[in-house]
Amino acid sequence: MKKPKWVVKKEIDEKIAQKQTYWIFGLHAVRDALINPKRKKFRLMVTKNAESKLLDSIEVSGVSPEVFDTRQFRPPIDEKSVHQGAVLEVASLQWGSLEDIIMNSKTNPARLILLDQVTDPHNIGAILRSAEVLVLVPSLELRSTVLPKLVRLQKVLVALWKGNPMYAFEI
């Protein structure tokens, strides 16, 4: 029996999403991503100074860094971004379906945060930190099609990861 077109499209979209990568930057965000065993890491670019600060995390990750002199460091991110000499190309984390997360939640009923039209990454960071205190499961992931201009949000989410699944929904 042939698969319906919508099933084929969904499978293709999921494969494309899995292949998409993005850049995480800044010492703390890169350090957290490097030590996350669930994170697929592809390319690490650092200055000599940043490498010395991230040495333990780099060793744990097994990623071979590309080390640059500070004046030669030209990472493939917006030149106005505060990268602190460290950028890491990664894939999105794969958590499974939202239904699986709800059904396997440690709390009963499952607790979720749904955010809509929030544009300031600092607000999102504050919300997620508050949620962590309240034992809520944040449900947000940055995808290029969801919030393409909020690159700083990637730093917030990586720093707040702490094992919580995060999702993005386009409505």
The structure's pTM equals 0.61
Select from 29, 53, 50 the least CA-distant residue to 160: 29
Same domain, 104 and 78: no
**Residue 37 is part of a domain; what is its CATH number?**
3.30.1330.30
Burial class (CB within 10 angstroms; exposed 0-12, middle 13-18, buried 19+) of 103? exposed
Give the chain's count of helices (H) and strands (E): 6, 6
Contacts of 19 (CB under 8 A, 6+ apart): 91
| Cis preceding-peptide flag for 75 (omega within 30 of 0) | no
Q: How many domains does the chain have?
A: 2
Encode pLDDT of 34-50 as tens digits.
998 888 899 999 999 99
In a domain, 163, yes or no: yes
Domain containing 35 equals 21-91
- 40-93 pLDDT, tens per residue? 899 999 999 999 999 999 999 999 999 999 999 999 988 888 899 999 999 877
Please check whether residues 85 and 117 belong to one and the same domain.
Answer: no
Same domain, 104 and 33: no
Residue 36 CA, distance from chain mean position: 11
